[in-house]
Amino acid sequence: MTKRYLRPTQFVDTPVGRDGEVARLGGGLGWFAAYEMIAVADGRRVAVETWPVAEFAERAGDDSALLALAARISAARVPLTLGERVLRFDQPQVMGILNVTPDSFSDGGAHLDDPAGAAGVGVDMAVAGAAIVDVGGESTRPGAQPVWEGDEIARVVPVIERLARSGTPISIDTRKAAVMEAALAAGAHLVNDVAALLYDDRALEVVVRAQCPVVLMHAGDSKQGAGGGRAYQDPLIEIYDWLERRVDEVVAAGVERARVLIDPGIGFGKKLNDNLALLNGLALFHGIGCPILLGASRKRLIGALSHEAPAEARLGGSLALALKGADQGAQLLRVHDVFETAQALRIWRGMRDAALTAIG
Residues 99 and 172 in one domain: yes
pLDDT digits (tens, 9 = 90+) for 135-160: 999 987 766 778 899 999 999 999 99
Please give the average per-residue pLDDT across 75-93, as a whole number: 96
Is 212 within the bounds of a domain?
Answer: yes
Has residue 360 got a pLDDT over 50? no
Same domain, 60 and 116: no
Catalytic residue list contains 299: yes
Mean pLDDT computed over 248-265:
98
Between CA 321 and CA 44 the distance in angstroms is 28
Residue where one domain finishes, among candidates 74, 98, 114: 74
Q: What is the pLDDT of residue 100?
A: 93
- Mean pLDDT across the chain: 94
Position 209 in a domain:
yes
Task: Map the chain to HEC letters.
Answer: CEEEEEEEEEEECCCCCCCCCCEEECCCCEEEEEEEEEEEECCEEEEEEEEEHHHHHHHHCCCHHHHHHHHHHHCCCCCEEECCEEECCCCCEEEEEEECCCCCCCCCCCCCCCHHHHHHHHHHHHHHCCCEEEEECCCCCCCCCCCCHHHHHHHHHHHHHHHHHCCCCEEEECCCHHHHHHHHHHCCCEEEECCCCCCCCCHHHHHHHHCCCEEEECCCECCCECCCCCCCCCHHHHHHHHHHHHHHHHHHHCCCHHHEEEECCCCCCCCHHHHHHHHHCHHHHHHHCCCEEECCCCCHHHHHHCCCCCHHHCHHHHHHHHHHHHHCCCCEEEECCHHHHHHHHHHHHHHHHHHCCCCC
Instruction: Tell me which of 59, 74, 89 is where a domain ends.
Output: 74
In the prediction, which pLDDT does 358 show?
65
Between CA 85 and CA 89, with CA 87 as vertex, the angle to 5 degrees is: 160
Reported as a single tens digit per residue, the pLDDT across 187-226 is 999 999 999 999 999 999 999 999 999 999 999 776 665 5
What is the rounded CA–CA span in Å between residue 31 and residue 134? 29
Q: Report the range of poorest mean pLDDT among 96-110, 169-183, 255-269, 289-303.
A: 96-110
For residue 115, being part of any structural domain is answered with: yes
State how far the alpha carbon of 21 is from the alpha carbons of 169, 273, 282, 301, 322, in Å: 38, 33, 22, 36, 27
Same domain, 161 and 242: yes
The Cα–Cα gap between 213 and 207 comes to 8
88 with 111, same domain: the answer is: yes
Q: Are residues 105 and 7 in the same domain?
A: no
State whether 96 and 50 are in the same domain: no
Query: Who has greater pLDDT, 356 or 332?
Result: 332
58-62, 91-95, 138-142 — which is least confidently predicted?
A: 138-142
In degrees rounded to 5, what are phi and psi of residue 104? -65, 150
Whether 222 and 296 map to the same domain: the answer is: yes
- Residue 358 covered by a domain: no
Residues in Cβ contact with 334 at an 8 Å cutoff, skipping those fewer than 6 apart: 95, 97, 134, 263, 293, 294, 295, 297
Same domain, 224 and 264: yes
Of 77, 176, 246, 334, which is the active-site residue? 334
Q: What percent of the chain has a predicted confidence (pLDDT) above 90?
A: 88
271 counts as catalytic = no
Domain-located, residue 87: yes
Q: How confident is the model at residue 291 (pLDDT cuts 50, 70, 90)?
A: very high
Please pick, among 77, 270, 299, 314, the residue that the annotation labels catalytic. 299
Distance CA 21, CA 55 (A): 9
**Average pLDDT over every residue of 293-297:** 97
pTM of structure: 0.95
41 plus 136 within the same structural domain: no
Distance CA 252, CA 248 (A): 6
Most confident listed range (30-34, 105-109, 112-116): 30-34
Lowest mean pLDDT among 50-59, 95-104, 247-256: 95-104
Q: For residue 22, with 0-12 CB atoms within 10 Å meaning exposed, 13-18 middle and 19 or more buried, which class applies? A: buried
Last-in-domain residue among 53, 74, 95? 74
Range of the domain at 22: 2-74
Q: What is the pLDDT of residue 145?
A: 78
Residue 113's pLDDT band, with cuts at 50, 70 and 90, is: confident
| Confidence band of 230 (pLDDT split at 50, 70, 90) | confident
More confident residue, 357 or 158: 158
Q: Considering the domain boundaries, does residue 360 fall inside one?
A: no
pLDDT in tens, 1-20: 999 999 999 999 999 999 99
Same domain, 65 and 84: no
Residues 86, 66 share a domain: no
In a domain, 300, yes or no: yes
Residues 38 and 172 in one domain: no
CATH number at residue 85: 3.20.20.20
> Does the residue 359 lie in any domain?
no
Residue 359: pLDDT band with limits 50, 70, 90: low
Domain count, the chain: 2
